[in-house]
A and B are shown apart, each in its own frame.
Chain A
Amino acid sequence: MALAEEPHAHSHDIRQEMRELEDKGEIKIQRVVGPYEEVEVAHGIKKKIPTTHLYQHKSCGQCTNLPGVPASSMYVYEQLGIDYLNDMEHTSCTAWNYHASATNNLVSLAAAAVRNWHRVYETGYNLDVHCVTSFGNYQEMRHLLVTKKEIRDEVRKIMHAIGRELVIPEEVVHNSEVMYVLRDQIAAKAKYRFDGLRAVDHIGCHFYKIMNDDVIGGAKPIVVRELGKTLGFDVQDYSKWFHCCGFGFRHILVNREFTRSALRVKLQAIQREVDPDVILVNCTGCGTTIDKNQWIMKAVGENYSYPALFHSQIAALSLGADPYKVAGINFHATPVEPVLKKVGIL
């Protein structure tokens, strides 16, 4: 563990390097707008997490499979009086396709990222990314654009051709990081608490394993578990917390037996060591994999029914959101109802 926690050759203070590139006129930085909270990440660096003017950068996987997740995010902001924008003029980040098939090349991936960032910049809102795949990709694309001149030059050319500029956000922020800094505000207004429910968390690999220097909590991310604890969950440790859920980008579609096998390793450890009421998640791919693949485990004589609940869903439900019309629990394959009955939400 000690070695893994040391900075990699590719971890660095990207913000300083961005400022230097901006001084040379190579890029434009979109600075955080309005109030923010500073939270420490690697090397003592402070990451600014904006708490208003939040551009809802939606996730195609969430909007398709579990649309109650983005709906919950927007509900939480409404309840707390926080300004947000649900804009349609961003595309998918296309990183799922890239990691699955490589049919889009690296430059197209970086250019798709910058196009979306530039759109966020022209609205004057702060980037609030719903998806962990997009979040990890945007962190990696920011790293490559800042450190590799050839990618920067190619992307700048493409941006000019489509009438945009090479803008990079000062902070790439995930929705679960925003909910983490808002956790006390959410708890103060909560209509329901989850006291008495046991939980484990599973953090999306691309939240912290692609770029390891911009993560709240360091080598073991804390955003979801701390939000969960603040709302009353008894969040427990388990040995396979680091283990990939099995999503695998291509595997969930074309090598499904791998997805099920890898998830089974995780579920077995969770059942043996904790047997919780819920699994708390922040990642589109993991949430989908964990939610959708428990039923089929009956085929190997194993019974699991651990609802996968996202950070935004627990926040919204605690604030009194309708479980169906906001949190969208009807879209879940693993039933959420029994758990909500336990705490009086249903």
Chain B
Amino acid sequence: MAIDFGDLKVYERMTQDPRFEDAYQGCLSCGTCESLCPAGQFYDYNPREVVEATGRADEAELRNWLENKIWYCAQCCSCKFRCPRGNSAADLVMILRDIAVEKGWAKEALEKYTRILKTILTVGNQLSPDMIAPDFFPDWGPRVAEMSKHKKEWRAELGIPGLMPIDRSWAVPAHVIKELLDIWKLSGAMDRVEATNPFLVELAWDNIEEALEDEKQAAEASHT
């Protein structure tokens, strides 16, 4: 789906990002980043091109990246580490991804991210044991299927306080999750969720209200 860029000047918007001055410092076109980029090994993708396009303020090429290529990057930062000029294609890609999400142009790329977002906004973790289901990870083999079956008892056997729940990675309490939600609201991150998954915002606030109430009742009960 082609993006309607309107009057957005991609290059100008990139230069406003606080990371920009570190991420672009002039390119030698030496090809170091290109030669070690894992994404370039398997996709039509070359980190040198995004750095060079930035150097030329090449609006058409930057738009081209924004439309699709940015989602191929593995964010390994190998390019940043080895670039003799200290450029970071990894960060230029993140700046472009930021723009794409902020503008609501990343719906397709984010399609399968709803569950992760929901987990963050409801339990304060990015993952939970109940997400590791064999039907979603058949390629992980028979031992993962076995693990999924026994996850509760095996976790209990480890006996680590806070690691028993299977709906979150550890037992993050409700008042802590509320702080994270406030951070997302105050920083504008919640507006991004609104742009891609509006129903999640309502779900998150409803959920936290209930969880805080449960927490309060549990605290009262333990006092009496």
Interface flag for B161 (CB, 8 Å): yes
B91 → A minimal CB distance (Å) = 9
Interface flag for B48 (CB, 8 Å): no
Indicate the member of B38, B112, B143, B157 with the most A CB atoms within 10 Å: B38
Q: A88-B171, A101-B101, A102-B97 are in contact. Are A248 and B187 (CB under 8 A)?
A: no
A326 to B143, CA, bound (A): 18
Interface flag for A332 (CB, 8 Å): yes
Inter-chain contacts of B36 with A (CB < 8 A): 242-243
Contact A244 B132 (CB under 8 A): no
Contact B158 A325 (CB under 8 A): yes
Query: What DSSP secondary structure best describes chain A's contact surface?
Result: helix
Instruction: Name the residue on A nearest B141 (C-beta).
Output: A295
Q: Which residue of the partner chain, among B25, B124, B125, contacts A9 with CB atoms under 8 Å?
A: B25
Contact B22 A9 (CB under 8 A): yes
A255 → B minimal CB distance (Å) = 8
Q: Of the 9-residue stretches A18-26, A105-113, A183-191, which lies at the interface with chain B? A: A105-113
B85 → A minimal CB distance (Å) = 8
Inter-chain contacts of A107 with B (CB < 8 A): 187-189
Q: Which residue of the partner chain, among B80, B84, B101, B157, contacts A210 with CB atoms under 8 Å?
A: B80
Contact A86 B101 (CB under 8 A): no
Contact B137 A292 (CB under 8 A): yes
Contact B128 A162 (CB under 8 A): no
Contact A209 B76 (CB under 8 A): yes
Q: Per-position contact with B for A138-167: 1 when CB-CB < 8 Å, else 0?
A: 000000100010110010011001100000
Contact A161 B170 (CB under 8 A): no
Q: Per-position contact with B for A242-280: 1 when CB-CB < 8 Å, else 0?
A: 111011111101111010111001000000000000000
Q: Of the 9-residue stretches A31-39, A45-53, A67-75, which lies at the interface with chain B? A: A67-75
A271 to B62, CA, bound (A): 40
A145 → B minimal CB distance (Å) = 10
A86 → B minimal CB distance (Å) = 6
Inter-chain contacts of B204 with A (CB < 8 A): none
B4 → A minimal CB distance (Å) = 20
Size of the B side of the interface (Cβ < 8 Å), in residues, is: 84
Query: What DSSP secondary structure best describes chain B's contact surface?
Result: helix
Q: A4-B84, A58-B170 are in contact. Are A105 and B76 (CB under 8 A)?
A: no
**B-facing residues in A3-30 (Cβ within 8 Å):** 3-4, 8-10
Q: A70-B160, A333-B143 are in contact. Are A101 and B77 (CB under 8 A)?
A: no
Interface flag for B69 (CB, 8 Å): no
Instruction: Name the residue on A nearest B175 (C-beta).
Output: A89
Contact B113 A103 (CB under 8 A): yes
Indicate the member of B102, B111, B120, B155 with the most A CB atoms within 10 Å: B120
Inter-chain contacts of B189 with A (CB < 8 A): 103-105, 107-108
Contact A209 B169 (CB under 8 A): no
Contact A63 B192 (CB under 8 A): no
Contact A92 B120 (CB under 8 A): yes
A144 to B19, CA, bound (A): 8
Interface flag for A345 (CB, 8 Å): no
Interface flag for B68 (CB, 8 Å): no
Interface flag for A99 (CB, 8 Å): yes
A153 → B minimal CB distance (Å) = 11
Interface flag for A64 (CB, 8 Å): yes
A91 to B183, CA, bound (A): 12
Inter-chain contacts of A242 with B (CB < 8 A): 36, 78
Interface flag for A230 (CB, 8 Å): no
Q: Per-position contact with A for B119-153: 1 when CB-CB < 8 Å, else 0?
A: 01000111111011000010111111001001000
A215 → B minimal CB distance (Å) = 10
B-side interface residues toward A, CB under 8 Å?
17-19, 22, 25, 36, 38-39, 41-43, 71-72, 74-78, 80-84, 86, 94, 97-98, 100-102, 106, 109-113, 116-117, 120, 124-129, 131-132, 137, 139-144, 147, 150, 154-155, 157-163, 169-173, 176-177, 179-180, 182-184, 186-189, 192-193, 196
**Could you list 5 further interchain pairs (A-B, Cβ under 8 angstroms) beyond the known A86-B161, A88-B172, A91-B177?**
A3-B84, A88-B176, A91-B180, A103-B113, A209-B80
Some 22 contacts from A to B, beta carbons below 8 A apart, are A58-B170, A61-B169, A64-B169, A91-B125, A92-B126, A97-B117, A101-B116, A102-B94, A103-B117, A108-B183, A112-B180, A150-B18, A162-B186, A208-B81, A243-B36, A253-B116, A254-B112, A258-B39, A262-B38, A292-B144, A330-B147, A330-B150
